[in-house]
Structure 1
Amino acid sequence: MTLKTFPWSPGEYIKTPDDAIAYIEAALEEVGPEGIKAALRGVADSEGMSALARKTGLNRQGLYRALSDEGDPRLSTLNAILDALGLRLSVTRKSAA
């Protein structure tokens, strides 16, 4: 018996800023900091990459490149993306292990 799978796109399920926050926080918790690009890419897809590029002032190709697996976005790029999404970076105390 073959298991049938379907492509999944987080952008189809992220509809509100609270959805975006939950998705990014889950990615950080489950994957760690290296999961931030994939999470932001999913959130960017929900907004539409062209629309997000206009809001950030970045070009669409640069946005795709920054959020690609090979990308290494600057803090200013991450901040511009989060700002365009109505979000911001926050620092909290690490829980004791």
Structure 2
Amino acid sequence: MNTVTIRDFDPAHYLDSDEMIVEYLKATAEDPNPEVFLGALGDVARAKGMAEIAKKTGLGRESLYKALRPGAHPRYETVKAVLKAIGVELTFKAVS
């Protein structure tokens, strides 16, 4: 009998370019559930290297993991610092 191994899907394995990261964050930011965007931000931080992001933000690695875990409610300053560390900025446009 053949055995099939199923692994959990990890988006961080596919976030290998700045363009992919931007599109991923844009898509998740459109979801009405903010947990989706915050989860994606954690995926991107893991893809870029959590230790490197922690260093760039001035946060401890464990604090960063805690701030980006499911159900967390990170401060705006934390989200903004992580975005800056991964090389992404928020932009706004008028809705017509």
Q: Considering the TM-score relative to the shorter chain, is it more than 0.5?
A: yes
Give the corresponding residue for 2:17: 16
* Letter paired with 2:43: G
Superposition map of 1:18-97 within 5 A: 18-30=19-31, 32-94=33-95
With normalisation by structure 1, the TM-score equals 0.83
Which consecutive unaligned segments of at least 5 residues does structure 1 have? none
Identity of aligned residues (%): 34
Q: Which consecutive aligned stretches of 4+ in structure 1 deviate over 6 angstroms post-superposition? A: none
| Residue 52 (structure 1) shift | 1.0
With normalisation by structure 2, the TM-score equals 0.84
Which consecutive unaligned segments of at least 5 residues does structure 2 have? none
Distance 1:93 1:12 in 2: 34
- How many residues in Structure 1 have an aligned counterpart in Structure 2? 93
> In structure 2, do the counterparts of structure 1 residues 39 and 94 end up closer, same or farther at CA, with 3 Å as the change threshold?
farther
Distance 1:63 1:83 in 2: 14
